[in-house]
Amino acid sequence: MIKFNEIKRAFLVSIWFMFLTFPIMVIRVNPVERIVEWRWKNMILVGIGSFLLSFVWNYLMKRKELGVKKTEAGEETGTIPLAQRILGEKRIYIPGLVAIGVFTMVFPLIFSMYQTTIMTTALIYVMLGLGLNIVVGLAGLLDLGYVAFYAVGAYAYALLNYHFGLGFWMALPIGGVLGAIFGILLGFPVLRLRGDYLAIVTLGFGEIIRIILENWNEFSFGPSGIANIPRPSLFGIDLSVHSSIIYIYYIMIALCLFTVFVVNRLQDSRIGRAWIALREDEVACEAMGIDKAKTKLTAFSLGATWASMAGVMFAAKTTFVNPASFTIWESIMILCIVVLGGMGSIIGVIAGALVLILTPEYLRAFSEYRMLAFGTMLVVMMIFRPGGFIPNVRRVYKFEGVKSADKS
Amino acid sequence: MLKLKNVQTFYGNIQALKDVTIEISEGEIITLIGANGAGKTTTLMAVCGIVPPRSGEISFMGEPITGMEPDKIVSLGICQVPEGRRIFPYLSVAENLDMGAFLRNDRAEIKKDMEYVFDLFPILAERRHQAGGTLSGGEQQMLAISRALMARPRLLLLDEPSLGLAPLIVKQIFEILIKINAENNTTIFLVEQNANLALKVAARGYVMENGRITLTDLSENLLANEEVKKAYLGF
């Protein structure tokens, strides 16, 4: 069954991996005692590990190719992915939804404060992911500076509170509106750009915002940031740290539900379809009379609104903002959430955010290799599930009178 | 109905249209024929406002539309079937049609029009839930024409509807174009390389060469013209 060729291949792979990981796995320099440790045992472990993994890899690749061939031959392989089947089946779907709902509601009561905080962070990223999903997933505009709008929201709350003493509930809508305005401001110069060029310009925009925040001391207090931002209040009652963390968690759940609701409605609306059409063919859109400028600007500004509201939430949660929280890495992370989760798919983006934000947290046990494992996961994901965890299956519209039209 | 007067269009520094003057009256089928790169598509793009002219005038129903935004021009009743079909591959047939009616809000009428195009092209009714990209070339062309009709155009611009299609399908599509023209009094401006067929359908024709209109006449005269015959009809 296992051919000699495969063994040879796996052997070569393991040699290659031993060579690659040699500097980090084997050599350890101890600067205090000025000696070099040679950990040969690690090398053997890497060798055996990669030898075995390469078999698993081969097996998965073969299965993948087989699947591709089958679909090419037109065989019905149950192409609907598992997640979609679950969503389609009402008997599983509804109890599942109830279970998830109950779990999220009691989550902060069962688990520790630490867990609740992580979950809140993940929920902020769910919101960011859903917002970017409008821009990237639906309208197909690759935006690498999305974090700029996140920063706009966070600083909007921080500064409005510092100067005018505005509370969280006032700052949230104002932050959203500010985000929309910034979205339009960014949108105008990039209307004519597409693809790589758009990515570069938005990347620049994101950096501009960060650098302004870092250097304009009078305005944003520079790298030292703004501290003592109040947490959200509950009808004017000041909560203890513990209960306000739980409170923030529930606000975040509510905001996420609101986002899901709005994005879902947007997707099925005319403007949503115009976004999808714009992603597919700009010239055809123009010939159909779709206003390209307006459509792109609404995508940018609506996406930015959500980032900005998430920013307000972030400021309220951490009670401290500084420019270091809004680096390009954040933008990439959010983009990863959208692409890995499944572009254009709401449930995919939610899953993507939870996986991408929670895994590094729970991988803290493997602290040193955390990012390595994370990177490997991204690579493997993109090879085996290029459409994302839960790819978007577009809703089929049923028109009345289908039958009669078919007969005629 | 549509008038182009001394239209000049440039792509960067390259002049694509030189002093193009075309006139179309209501209810006509007019064709514009010419070789590759003559500027036929650019003429349509100029009318639609996608490539606005640098100088010259375009007017529709007596009103100037030079330099207007494409969506405003569509809302006036000019709709283009772009070259190479350009349907939306991931939207279903019905959704593609709905995108054609993007600027309209009268649901009942849109539905009626959808039934009308399904009547014209029954194959589209069969495939209404299929993604546009899975259709064959001929079906995609039918979809592109139907999508344009969904905007209820008064002037329909067609850019090489015969491109890459089997002769039988081309014939079918041209027959339906004549039908659309007769039933709705839709003016049709047809840009074609297949000069023989286009001139048989159209009442009048313009011949374009290197961005200039070199000849205009009734179709039967053009079909009989020795130079046109040699250059475009292949006799």
Q: Is A78 inside a domain boundary? A: no
Asked if B125's CB is within 8 angstroms of A280's CB, the reply is no
Task: Taking the CA atoms of B72, B75, B78 and B82 in sequence, report the sign of the dihedral they define.
Answer: positive
Q: How many CB atoms lie within 10 A of CB A323?
A: 22
- CB contact, 8 Å: A268 with chain B? no
Interface test with B, best of A79, A270, A288 (most B CBs within 10 A): A288
Specify if A390 maps to a domain.
no
* pLDDT tens-digit map of A103-141: 888 888 888 888 899 999 999 999 999 999 999 988 989
Task: For chain B, list residues whose CB is within 8 angstroms of any CB belonging to chain A.
Answer: 48, 50, 69-71, 73-75, 79-82, 86-92, 94-95, 98-100, 102-103, 111, 114-115, 118-119, 122, 125-126, 128-129, 147-148, 151
Q: How far is A315 from B69, CA to CA, in rounded Å? A: 42
Where does the pLDDT of residue A401 fall: very low under 50, low under 70, confident under 90, or very high at 90 and above?
very low
Nearest Cα residue in chain A from B118: A405
Nearest to B92 by CA among B120, B114, B70, B119: B114
CA-nearest residue to B72 within chain A is: A289
Whether A407 and chain B come into contact, CB under 8 Å, resolves to no
What is the pLDDT, as a whole number, of residue A111? 85
Number of domains in chain A: 2
**Mean pLDDT across A149-155:** 94
A203-241 pLDDT per residue, tens: 999 999 999 999 998 888 888 888 888 888 777 676 788
- Tell me whether residues A284 and B88 touch, CB distance under 8 A: yes
DSSP-H helix ranges across chain B: 40-48, 70-76, 93-100, 107-120, 122-126, 137-149, 167-184, 195-201, 219-224, 226-228
Please say whether the beta carbons of B111 and B99 come within 8 A: no
Identify whether residues A220 and A312 lie together within a single domain.
Answer: yes
A379 touches chain B (CB under 8 A): no
A326 and A213 share one domain: yes
Closest C-alpha to B118, from B138, B91, B137, B145: B145
Percent of chain A topping pLDDT 90: 28
The chain A residue lying nearest B129, using CA atoms, is A396
Note the pLDDT of residue B154: 92
At which of A41, A73, A105 does a domain end? A73
Give the distance from residue A338's alpha carbon to the nearest chain B alpha carbon, in angstroms: 19
In this structure, is residue A391 part of a structural domain? no
A291 reaches B (C-beta below 8 A): yes
Q: Where in chain B is the domain with CATH 3.40.50.300?
A: 1-77+155-235
B115 neighbourhood in chain A, CB within 8 Å: 405
Say how far apart CA B81 and CA B162 lie, in whole Å: 12
Task: State pTM to two decimals.
Answer: 0.80
Tokens of A34: 């000025």
Q: Which residue of B has its CA nearest to A292?
A: B71
A58-109 pLDDT per residue, tens: 888 887 777 666 655 544 444 455 666 666 666 777 888 888 888 888 888 8
Close Cβ partners of A213 (under 8 Å, ≥ 6 residues apart): A151, A155, A220, A222, A323, A326
Judge whether A398 lies within some domain: no
On whether the CB atoms of residues B47 and B68 are closer than 8 A, the answer is: no
Let me know whether A44 and A132 are in one domain.
no
Subunit contact B82:A283, Cβ cutoff 8 A: yes
Query: Domain range spanning residue A206?
Result: 89-384
CATH at residue A373? 1.10.3470
Do B86 and A287 count as a contact with CB atoms less than 8 A apart? Answer: yes
pLDDT at A387: 75
Banded model confidence at residue B21, pLDDT cuts 50, 70, 90: very high
pLDDT digits (tens, 9 = 90+) for B63-73: 999 988 888 89
Are both A67 and A197 inside the same structural domain? no
The interface residues of chain A toward chain B in range 308-347, judged by CB-CB distance below 8 A, are none
Query: What topology does CATH give the domain B1-77+155-235?
Result: Rossmann fold (3.40.50)
Instruction: Indicate the range of A183-187, A398-402, B31-35, B101-105 predicted with least confidence.
Output: A398-402
ipTM of the predicted structure? 0.81
Give chain B positions within 8 Å (CB) of A283: 50, 82, 86
Is A5 within 8 Å of chain B by CB? no
Q: What is the pLDDT confidence band of residue A408, given thresholds at 50, 70 and 90?
A: very low
Q: DSSP characters for A331-358?
A: HHHHHHHHHHH-TT-HHHHHHHHHHHHH
Q: Which of B210, B162, B224, B174 is nearest to B34 (CA)?
A: B210
C-alpha–C-alpha distance, residues A336 and A375, integer Å: 11
Residue A356: Cβ within 10 Å count: 21
**Do both A298 and A378 map to the same domain?**
yes
Q: How many inter-chain contacts (A to B, CB under 8 Å) are there? A: 88
- Asked if residue A97 and residue A57 are part of one domain, the reply reads no
From the list A215, A213, A199, the residue with the least C-alpha distance to A151 is A213
CB A291 to CB B69 under 8 A?
yes
Q: How far apart are CA B47 and CA B53, in angstroms?
A: 9
Q: How many CB atoms lie within 10 A of CB B163?
A: 15
